[in-house]
Amino acid sequence: MRKVKGFFKKYRGMMPVFFLMLLSPALMATLQKTKDAYGLTHEIDTGKKVYQERCLICHGVEGNGKGPVDVVRRAEKTGRIIEIYSRDFTVGVFKFRSTPTGCLPTDDDILGTIADGIERSFMPSHKEVLSSEEREAVKEYIKAFSFRWEEEDPCDAITVKKPEGVDSPAFAEKGKMVYKEMKCWECHGYQGVGDGPKADDLKDDWGKQIRPFDFTTGALKRGSSPENVYITFTTGLDGTGMPAYEDSPSEEDRWHLVAYTLKLMKLKGRAE
């Protein structure tokens, strides 16, 4: 007993240090949780603020695509009227992805769409008006609208490696054959102008009528670099009638198809 008392008497001045040493793991864990909670709360608040200021008008308060401006109409040179509907984030189905059909997009896919916008769709670029922190925050806010982000594992992005010769007439000529064999003409027409025999019957997953792309009008919404066209053919456009061709035709023939459609778009050799 004397030894115990002697120990406390001898090291009495060190007791606060011993106490902090015992407490520090729990203290650090609490501080980290507080920091994490603050960081998460700050990100959610920032994402909500950005969404309300820049996204709500089209995508709606609940992210279901029913904002005050939920559909816009665009006239093409041919006189065809295209109706463009705002994305419904609640179902977690995205057209523009680097992942296989049926998969969620990667974070980079979403950030790319936010930053670059979607050509020909009235979805503007936010690269110059939002900071990287704000784009990250609104990306997380958008993901919160759908249960899929909590219940599904992410898919890997598809690797894209452009072969030499995509700009060559030989590639385009082979692509013309693939276009015919894969029956692309049934929707897009024999000349690629979107007037195929099935063109008037296409509907998206929400039952809204959609029009097949007229290649002769120029760039795709996703962008028309060879790589972007290839990934569109490979992943498909989920929620629409455009299927994925990851399994068929072969990778080589998909690049042939890229060459032919770029020729139809008169974008052969265009740099982006």
> What is the structure's pLDDT at 150?
94
Residue 81 clears pLDDT 70, i.e. is over it = yes
Residue 90 clears pLDDT 70, i.e. is over it = yes
270 vs 165: which has the higher pLDDT: 165
What's CA 149's distance to the chain center, in Å? 13
> What is the structure's pLDDT at 267?
62
What's CA 9's distance to the chain center, in Å? 67
> What is the structure's pLDDT at 272?
38
Q: What is the mean pLDDT of residues 46-59?
A: 95
> What is the structure's pLDDT at 38?
46
> What is the structure's pLDDT at 183?
96
pLDDT averaged over every residue in the chain: 85
46 vs 224: which has the higher pLDDT: 46
Q: Token pair for residue 106?
A: 């990667």
As a whole number of angstroms, the distance between CA 187 and CA 109 comes to 27
Q: What is the mean pLDDT of residues 79-102?
A: 92
Residue 17 clears pLDDT 70, i.e. is over it = no
182, 247 Cβ separation under 8 angstroms = no
Among the CATH numbers 1.10.760.10, 3.90.420.10, 1.10.3720.10, 3.40.720.10, which is that of 169-264? 1.10.760.10
Q: What is the mean pLDDT of residues 176-188?
A: 96
Alpha-helix runs per DSSP H in the chain: 2-10, 15-54, 56-59, 107-116, 132-143, 148-151, 169-181, 185-188, 226-235, 251-264
> What is the structure's pLDDT at 152?
95
Assess whether the region 56-151 and the region 169-264 belong to the same CATH fold: yes
pLDDT, tens digit (0-9, with 9 covering 90-100), for 117-172: 998 888 999 999 999 999 999 999 999 999 999 999 999 999 999 999 999 999 99
**Short-list 140, 117, 114, CA closest to 45:** 140
- Within 10 angstroms of residue 160's Cβ, the number of other Cβ atoms is 14
> What is the structure's pLDDT at 163?
95
Residue 185 clears pLDDT 50, i.e. is over it = yes
Residue-range domain boundaries for the chain: 2-47, 56-151, 169-264
Residue 174 clears pLDDT 80, i.e. is over it = yes
pTM of the model: 0.79
Domain spanning 56-151: which CATH class is it, in words? mainly alpha
As a whole number of angstroms, the distance between CA 161 and CA 164 comes to 10
Residue 231 clears pLDDT 80, i.e. is over it = yes
**Short-list 118, 105, 141, CA closest to 72:** 118
Residue 16 clears pLDDT 60, i.e. is over it = no
